[in-house]
Amino acid sequence: MERSTNPQLDQILGKEFPCLDHGFVRLIDYMGSDEAIVQAARVSYGKGTKKLQQDRDLIRYLMRHQHTSPFEMVEFKFHCKLPIFVARQWIRHRMASVNEYSLRYSQAQNEFYLPSPEVIRKQSTTNRQGRSDQTLPFELQQQVLEVMKKHIQQLWQDYEQFQQMDLARELARIQLPVSLYTEWYWKIDLHNLLHFLKLRLDPTAQYEIQVYARAIAEIVKIAVPLTWEAFEDYVLEARTFSRLELLVLKQALGQIPAPIDWQSLMQNQGLSKREIQEFLEKIGATSAE
């Protein structure tokens, strides 16, 4: 049985997608496609037994109802180069296999992340974890960069001095800052990768990890276009309502005097009959009007 391949994806295998000042994401290997997802859902192997539209509808149904196991049939292996502080955020997504560059075994490379001036901003007053939209004056941005550069240079000199002393690498690395670049191989299935992207593409995520998430998203779009479309529609750009919010929404809709032609409105957006029916059930409507 031949391995399923994606010609468009094969063209970018090993290609570096630049991230930040020295980083990158590269797709090293992959397994599966949109077709593998629908095959797993149907528990069959017949190629061409279903039309493309039926495959799309099935994938959308799986995404909409959070039937996640078929998406686990697709896997990606990435080679990433990233600052250590980004890696420590990233590693919180535990459902992956990771092998990282070892500073106990190998020497560090003289590459450190320095933010571009426009992303050097004040602390947010509403988000305790992140920066605000308010940029610092240019003079302060340059001052911040000069302080960062000075300490990086000093710490690198200390590290080199430890090397000359033949100090154990596992001790010498203690001096190095989290702005140092590291590398790893990261293998993950599509279901967990989409969860990573949902969180790290969010505007409230740290800018630096958003950059890597956007690079990975471009690869996923090529690999599984039908799944990506469903992911955008039902997860990435979707919003959910609590029980009480939905109750208020139903009450408000019930007070509108003129009937709403839900059928036409939703058909114009390209929703299927099943999607329209499920929406009507959510808002408590008994018919298309």
CB contact at 8 A, 111 and 180: yes
Contacts of 99 (CB under 8 A, 6+ apart): 184, 185
- Taking alpha carbons only, the member of 89, 101, 58 closest to residue 196 is 89
Which single residue is written with the structure tokens 């075994």?
A: 105
Kind and range of the H or E element at 215?
A: helix 207-223
Please say if 42 is a catalytic residue. Answer: no
Catalytic site residue from 60, 200, 239, 243: 200
Distances 218 to 11, 25, 27 between C-alpha atoms, Å: 14, 11, 11
As a 3-state breakdown, the chain gives helix, strand, coil percent values, each rounded to 5, of 50, 15, 35
Helices and strands in the chain: count of H runs, count of E runs: 12, 7
- Dist. CA 31–CA 13, nearest whole Å: 12
Tokens in use for 265?
């409105």
- Size of the chain, expressed as the number of residues it contains: 289
Structure-token pair, residue 181: 């670049």
Cα–Cα distance between 117 and 114 in angstroms, integer? 9
Q: How far is CA 29 from CA 9, 137, 187, in A?
A: 9, 44, 9
Q: How far is CA 25 from CA 17, 107, 220, in A?
A: 5, 22, 12
Specify the DSSP element, H or E, that contains 84.
Answer: helix 84-90
Catalytic residues: 200
